[in-house]
Structure 1
Amino acid sequence: MKTKRNKSISFVTICVFHFFLFSFVLLLLYMLTNYSINKRLENAFPSIDSLLEYQDDLMHDAYYQIPIHKYQDCDFIIYDEKGNDLYSTSKNIRNQLSSNDLMLIHGYDADTFYSLSIGFDQIEQKKRYYISFYQYGEDASLSLLDDCVLDENYQIIDGNLFSDRSYLTKQELNLIQGRFDSERDIEKYEYVSVNDEKRILVFISPHINENSYERVLNEANQLWLFAVPLIFLMIIVQSYFFSRRVKNSMKQLDESIVSYQSGNIVDADEKKMPLEFKRTLDKFSDLRDHLEEAKKQKDQLYKEKQQLIVDISHDLKTPLTVIQGYAKAFIDGKIDKKDTDKYMNAIMNKAQLATDLLNTLFEYVQMEHPGYQANLEEGDLGEFIKAFLAKKYSEIEDKEFVLNVEIEDKKIMTLFDKKLMTRLLDNLLSNALRYNPRGTAIDVSLTELEKEMILIVADDGVGIPQEIVHKVFEPFVTGSVARTSGSGSGLGLSIVKKIVELHHGHIELLSGNKTSYATEIRITLSK
């Protein structure tokens, strides 16, 4: 019995949903924290690029709309092409800079720049300042345009770089180096406003060094102190809801299985039970049905075995009774001397029949043991079958049967147990000889393929009734059911099937419209 099939979510979908939800929230939290840290670093160490984000305001002379306050310790001042200051964020900056200083300030995208180096005059034993003026060519080559030398008091003592001046100030030297003062840098950017008027933007920002960067970075990373607890809180919340969902799903499954034990079926709440769990219930129900069916089959098999014991007991009782009667007649002296040989032969035949029945039963039971193994040895299977058929030929001819053999004249090497293979061939031929009339043709063929061999034993005799074809290889299906003579123990073909399985092969019976023969046994063996 199975649960009702309604639409419900899959357990895998539940797991995937919670996984992606957790991953998304975790990623979102990480991105927000990282974004906040980067923004803090960016605002702590702004460059002129930060101010150029407001290019539109600059071109429209809307300087008051630029939020310079969010950039710590930063200022800017705007000059026109005549050197007049149009706007400044700090009065002190305006007082400390003049239009004459603009030529010394490094341009943001300029192809010329100053370079300052400090040296020592070995002859005069005095400090010297060397200023060079370079220009980048179109091919990115660097060329020196001019230079000059300053003494320790910033007096120009050599060079034509500043030919109209005799000295530079300390502040001018700082501007050449890109420094506004000891703590801040300076840079300029030239552009044209929407009114085609030239503008010069001078931007002053904090100087970046290792200590200042490390200090700001440590302050920014403190945001993780707030993010980590949030991550742990999110993990706890997510784990709680996920475990609750799983427990509710398992609860439905558990209640349904427990109800099976009592023989009652409790309908699960399909809205709470994932699809896979309902399938598990279906499989559990199917398993119970199969167990019931297996129990019935086991009972039937037990009855068949009991019947076999009765049949074998009867078959053994008949020859043993004859033996006992003839033996008693000999003891009582009731047998004429002229009939002695006849009765002795009868005793011998009945004893042989009883022995054969016991040997067959013992052989089948032995092969059914889990520890039984075939003694596989490499040999020419084709030559082996030919030799066996040669030994059986006189018996086949005496019973007026026709034997047709199709085995190629080449070596067909494989691993097989010679004793078991002899038993297999003997059982198949004995069945054909026992249950078919005289004149029946028996065909034996062995075909070698790339990875396997096909052994066929077939005849054009009376065939097998269709009602038992499907169970002819089962044990205890006797000849009285399968054929017409009423002889046999019902274990011959079962032993054949077991021998094929011990050789890792496959056996099947073909009859009716599946073959051109009345009966065809097809055996497939791995090479």
Structure 2
Amino acid sequence: MKTDKRKKGSFLSLIIRNYLWFSFAVLLALMCIVVVINWMGEQHFSGLKTKKIKKFTEYLEEGNYEKFPSDILLGQKGAFVILDENFQMIYQSKSDMPKRFTEEELFFVNELGMKEKIKAIFYQDENENERILIQREKTKEGTEKNKKEYLLLDNSGTVLVNQMGFTGKNVNQKELDYIIKKGKNPVQYAKWEFKNKRGKSYTAVFRYEKKDAKKYLEFTKSMRVVQWLILPLYALIVAVFAVRLNHKVKRPLMALKESIVCYQKGQKLSNDNNGPDEFVEIGDDFVKLAQRLAESEERRKISDEEKQQMLADISHDLKTPITIIQGYAKAICDGVIKEENKQQYLQTIYHKSIVLNELINAFSEYSNLEHPDFRPVKTKVDICEYAREYLATKYNELVLGGFLIEVEIPEMIIWCQIDVQQVKRVFENLINNSVKHNKRGTMLFFSMKKEADTICISIGDNGTGIPKELAQMVFEPFVVGDESRNSRQGTGLGLAIAKKIVEAHDGVIELVKFPKEGLSTEFRIWMHTDKE
């Protein structure tokens, strides 16, 4: 089975795919944020930043102590002092930093780049003498090798056993307190021995904020929980989104599909779609489109019926004069007509040929006007002067026919873009309509009046008028004032042709329902005027 390459999957799957791409990007961004927060937390809780400090030791070696970024590297409570060879302070970054350290005190200060664990154990020996055992374990950063050292003191702090390389003979209370409270203090100390560019030895003692191991563990644990929750939470959000989207999108789409199926079956369409604005608008537009198509189909059927009726009318109208001409001509050829009656028969044949010619000309003209390529050839004329000239040539014909005409044309120039020959046909058809359907002595009326940017042309008479049953369809082809087609006058195309011509000029023609006083029939034409 061939697949339609135009189809790219269902609308729902399209939205879900785009949502997945978008949410994946959001998820990736969240993961990056978590990683960054984790890194920042690690930096915040990680205590002394040995590697970073060593990047800035050149300031210390050059003696530019003020440039050393102690607040960044050591924390807000951090500070440092520089001691010379005699352990005398030569620089102090903050006033609350101790100004002097003894050699013994510095012995218990951790070296920069070394991890140190130190503790003091109080116990009694076999002779019940109080003893203090100081244990220290050193590990160089970046290695797993450690060094364990011991220092045994009596209760007065005198050194009894020295496996630590301690140079003093006694550990005073200050040094002992430092060892005991070292794990509890919020700040810690570290030392770094260096030489300046002249080769002189110095010792830098750094005070830094101690790493809060408990808070750091809590922080890392919470970050792991967040990381593990993101994926299932993401999957849950996608599932909820898919279900909800399926409900919100599929329902209006199915309603639209039902409307299409109903239209295909010829059933009546409902306009009760609900849902997102776009779907409701699409549903409404489809219903309107279906209604317009139905109306168009109805108009097409009516047009087909009219064409069928027109063909029947044309056939009838042509058949009658042709039958008479054919019958009379055969009678003369067969010699059945007396000599004294031949002239009368020939005269009848001649008049019927004129009627037939008029019918053919009318049919041809109407057909030309119906053609989609028909366009009037317009020229700019003074419509008032044009009407006067036309009526001047028509006047004698009307008087000889026994009709009178009253004319009201303003004495002004009114320019219009018209097809001179076609507008003349409109005047001819309307006036001839009055002449053909009224008795001698009928008064015809022709007037013009400018209204804003239009010209109103009124043509009527005070004759018998148009029956009410014909008034609604007077501009339709083959409509005449006599029910019997055999006895009617004209082709029934005159007013239909006039309407086509006026509409081709973007104008309007109508049969006035209530004619002005003194008239029984009145046609009004509105056409656009042109700038002078």
TM-score normalized by the length of structure 1: 0.52
Match of 1:500 among 486, 499, 502: 502
Paired residue for 1:106?
Answer: none
Paired residue for 2:312?
Answer: 307
Q: Secondary structure at the match of 1:471?
A: coil
Q: Secondary structure at the match of 2:426?
A: helix
Pick closer, same or farther for the CA change 1:100–1:362 going to 2, 3 Å: closer
Report if the CA contact (8 A) 2:507-2:526 is conserved. Answer: yes
Q: Secondary structure at the match of 2:261?
A: helix
Alpha-carbon shift at residue 75 of structure 1 (Å): 1.9
Pick closer, same or farther for the CA change 1:99–1:383 going to 2, 3 Å: same
Report if the CA contact (8 A) 2:515-2:521 is conserved. Answer: no
Paired residue for 1:75?
Answer: 76
Alpha-carbon shift at residue 526 of structure 1 (Å): 2.2
Paired residue for 2:401?
Answer: 399
Alpha-carbon shift at residue 72 of structure 1 (Å): 7.2
Higher mean displacement: 255-264 or 350-359: 255-264
Report if the CA contact (8 A) 2:252-2:274 is conserved. Answer: no
Q: Give unpaired runs (5+ residues) of structure 2.
A: 1-11, 45-70, 80-88, 99-202, 210-229
Report if the CA contact (8 A) 1:252-1:272 is conserved. Answer: no
Correspondence 1:383 to 2:380? no
Alpha-carbon shift at residue 398 of structure 1 (Å): 2.3
Paired residue for 1:334?
Answer: 338
CA distance in 2, matches of 1:360, 1:266: 44
Paired residue for 1:3?
Answer: none
Output one character per residue of 1:186-209: Cα deviation in whole Å (capped at 9) or x when no partner. xxxxxxxxxxxxxxxxx99xxxxx
CA distance in 1, matches of 2:515, 2:410: 28
Which residue type is aligned with residue 401 of structure 1?
Answer: F
Output one character per residue of 1:151-201: Cα deviation in whole Å (capped at 9) or x when no partner. xxxxxxxxxxxxxxxxxxxxxxxxxxxxxx99x9xxxxxxxxxxxxxxxxx
Match of 1:246 among 228, 245, 249: 249
Which residue type is aligned with residue 339 of structure 2?
Answer: I
Paired residue for 2:95?
Answer: 98
Q: Secondary structure at the match of 1:414?
A: strand
CA distance in 1, matches of 2:32, 2:521: 81
Report if the CA contact (8 A) 2:318-2:359 is conserved. Answer: no
Which residue type is aligned with residue 98 of structure 1?
Answer: S
Match of 2:454 among 436, 452, 455: 452
Report if the CA contact (8 A) 2:274-2:280 is conserved. Answer: no
Q: Secondary structure at the match of 1:525?
A: strand
Q: Secondary structure at the match of 1:353?
A: helix
Alpha-carbon shift at residue 373 of structure 1 (Å): 2.4
Query: Residues 430-509 of structure 1 correspond to what in structure 2 (within 5 A)?
Result: 430-481=432-483, 486-509=488-511
Root-mean-square deviation (Å) = 5.6
Q: Secondary structure at the match of 2:519?
A: coil
Q: Secondary structure at the match of 1:308?
A: helix
CA distance in 1, matches of 2:379, 2:364: 24
Report if the CA contact (8 A) 1:503-1:525 is conserved. Answer: yes
Which residue type is aligned with residue 391 of structure 1?
Answer: T
Report if the CA contact (8 A) 2:443-2:462 is conserved. Answer: yes
Report if the CA contact (8 A) 1:44-1:72 is conserved. Answer: no
Pick closer, same or farther for the CA change 1:323–1:503 going to 2, 3 Å: farther
Query: Residues 55-454 of structure 1 correspond to what in structure 2 (within 5 A)?
Result: 73-76=74-77, 97-98=94-95, 242=245, 245-262=248-265, 275-276=280-281, 279=284, 282-283=287-288, 286=291, 290=295, 293-294=298-299, 297-298=302-303, 300-317=305-322, 319-321=324-326, 323-324=328-329, 327-328=332-333, 334-336=338-340, 342-454=344-456
Output one character per residue of 1:66-118: Cα deviation in whole Å (capped at 9) or x when no partner. xxxx987422499xxxxxxxxxxxxx9x98633799xxxxxxxxxxxxxxxxx
Alpha-carbon shift at residue 383 of structure 1 (Å): 1.7
Pick closer, same or farther for the CA change 1:326–1:482 going to 2, 3 Å: closer
Q: Secondary structure at the match of 1:496?
A: helix
Report if the CA contact (8 A) 1:460-1:517 is conserved. Answer: yes
Alpha-carbon shift at residue 393 of structure 1 (Å): 0.6
CA distance in 2, matches of 1:295, 1:422: 32
Paired residue for 1:151?
Answer: none
Pick closer, same or farther for the CA change 1:496–1:232 going to 2, 3 Å: farther
Alpha-carbon shift at residue 316 of structure 1 (Å): 2.1
Report if the CA contact (8 A) 1:253-1:268 is conserved. Answer: no
CA distance in 2, matches of 1:34, 1:466: 85
Alpha-carbon shift at residue 321 of structure 1 (Å): 4.2
Paired residue for 1:168?
Answer: none
Paired residue for 2:181?
Answer: none
Report if the CA contact (8 A) 2:269-2:287 is conserved. Answer: no
Output one character per residue of 1:95-152: Cα deviation in whole Å (capped at 9) or x when no partner. 8633799xxxxxxxxxxxxxxxxxxxxxxxxxxxxxxxxxxxxxxxxxxxxxxxxxxx
Q: Secondary structure at the match of 2:472?
A: helix
CA distance in 1, matches of 2:315, 2:244: 66
Alpha-carbon shift at residue 243 of structure 1 (Å): 7.0
Which residue type is aligned with residue 328 of structure 1?
Answer: C
Report if the CA contact (8 A) 1:444-1:458 is conserved. Answer: yes
Alpha-carbon shift at residue 390 of structure 1 (Å): 0.9
Which residue type is aligned with residue 460 of structure 1?
Answer: N
Q: Secondary structure at the match of 1:405?
A: strand
Query: Residues 2-13 of structure 1 correspond to what in structure 2 (within 5 A)?
Result: none
Report if the CA contact (8 A) 1:378-1:415 is conserved. Answer: yes
Alpha-carbon shift at residue 231 of structure 1 (Å): 10
Q: Secondary structure at the match of 1:75?
A: coil
CA distance in 1, matches of 2:97, 2:265: 102
Match of 1:518 among 517, 520, 527: 520
TM-score normalized by the length of structure 2: 0.52
Report if the CA contact (8 A) 2:429-2:498 is conserved. Answer: yes
